[in-house]
């Protein structure tokens, strides 16, 4: 949603849009709502949110980001420093995986009871 408020940069009037920045750990989740000038990148939005001050493990330069679970990885979608935010967007900062999902499945399969085959 575009706000009727405006930001003034170099005598140009730029409308403000409402967006969110989200980060979660197993113990805590935080969603920071904020208003940014139209055309602000996802990376700049994360910086403006100051969410890294709340979570010491966030590394804005290295942690992957996405918009509503769609990665901004440069593979079919722009990178965080290229993606221009739209009204209502939520930037999500992703934590690194502790274990590869395939390896986790293999570990679970090793400890699972063997399944009997029916005759």
Residue 77's CATH number:
3.10.20.90
CB-side exposure of 79: number of CA atoms within 13 Å?
Answer: 6
Match 């730029």 to its residue by tokens.
14
Q: How many CB atoms sit inside 10 A of residue 109's CB?
A: 8
More confident site: 90 or 103: 90
Reference 21, options 79, 82, 66, 76; nearest CA is: 66
Question: Domains in the chain: how many in total?
Answer: 1
Which tens digit of pLDDT belongs to each residue from 36-80? Answer: 999 999 999 999 999 999 999 999 999 999 999 999 999 989 999
Q: Containing domain of residue 41, as a range?
A: 2-111
* Amino acid 31: pLDDT: 97
Q: Is residue 37 part of a domain?
A: yes
Name the pLDDT band for 3 (thresholds 50, 70, 90). low
Q: Beta strands of 10-119 (E only): which ranges?
A: 12-24, 29-37, 65-67, 70-71, 90-93
pTM of the model: 0.75
Q: Is residue 118 part of a domain?
A: no
Residue 97 has pLDDT above 60, yes or no: yes
Q: Is residue 105 part of a domain?
A: yes
Q: Is residue 64 part of a domain?
A: yes
Burial 2-33 (b: 16+ CB within 10 A, else e): eeeeeeeeeeeeeebbebebbbeeeeeeeebe
DSSP state of 117: P
Q: Is residue 99 part of a domain?
A: yes
DSSP state of 86: -
Q: Is residue 78 part of a domain?
A: yes
* Amino acid 44: pLDDT: 97
């Amino acid at each position: 949603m575009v706000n009727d408020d405006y930001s003034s940069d170099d005598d140009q009037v730029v409308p403000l849009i409402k967006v969110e920045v989200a980060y979660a750990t197993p113990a805590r989740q935080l969603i920071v709502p904020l208003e940014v000038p139209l055309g602000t990148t996802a990376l700049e939005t994360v910086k403006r949110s100051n969410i890294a001050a709340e979570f010491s493990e966030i590394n804005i330069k290295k942690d992957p980001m996405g918009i509503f679970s769609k990665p901004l990885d440069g593979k079919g979608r722009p990178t965080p420093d290229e993606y221009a935010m739209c009204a209502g967007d939520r930037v999500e900062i992703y934590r690194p995986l502790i274990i590869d999902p395939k390896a986790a499945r293999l570990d679970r399969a090793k400890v699972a009871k063997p399944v009997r085959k029916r005759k």
